[in-house]
Amino acid sequence: MEEEEQDNNFINAFFHAPPSLISLANFSPSIRTSSCRRLSSQFSEPTRPINSDRRLSWVSLEGRLIGAEEASSAKAIKGNLGLDEVIAWDLFSPIHRVLIVAIIAVATNDLKKSRQISSLKRSVDLRVRFD
């Protein structure tokens, strides 16, 4: 009986509560100086977005890849692909196409770094030999 009464009191208080009002006084700095500080004295006008000739994909705020089908198709990338490669490429989903390109980019970058390290090691070895 007591629990039912408490539940009813809570429900009544929740649904019949007066609206919450908040009022704020106007902001005015307590000390006014003759030289007001600004974050920047040079303001630039907003520019229009740059339009691209080709379709681009992007990640939405929800984390979804938008426009990737058109942007990553064999026709859009204009690669030097044969008919079999075009068919195979278009069989991949857009996210897989993006991941394939990303993996190749990382592998290429690692290869360049390792070549540069090897070149530097060879030059150090040559200097040590001649000293």
Q: Domain limits of the chain? A: 54-131
Measured distance CA(14)–CA(41) in Å, rounded: 51
Measured distance CA(94)–CA(73) in Å, rounded: 8
Q: For 89-102, how does the pLDDT look when each residue is reduced to its tens digit (9 = 90+)?
A: 999 998 898 899 89
Measured distance CA(80)–CA(11) in Å, rounded: 70
The average confidence (pLDDT) of the chain is 77
Q: Which H helix or E strand runs over 58? A: strand 58-59
Q: For 47-85, how does the pLDDT look when each residue is reduced to its tens digit (9 = 90+)?
A: 777 776 666 777 788 877 788 888 788 888 887 889 999
Closest by CA to 97, choosing from 108, 86, 84, is 86
Q: What integer pLDDT is reported at residue 117 of this predicted model? A: 95
| Higher-scoring residue by pLDDT: 89, 1 | 89
CA dihedral (35, 37, 43, 46) positive or negative: negative
Q: For 92-128, how does the pLDDT look when each residue is reduced to its tens digit (9 = 90+)?
A: 998 898 899 899 999 999 999 999 999 999 999 888 8
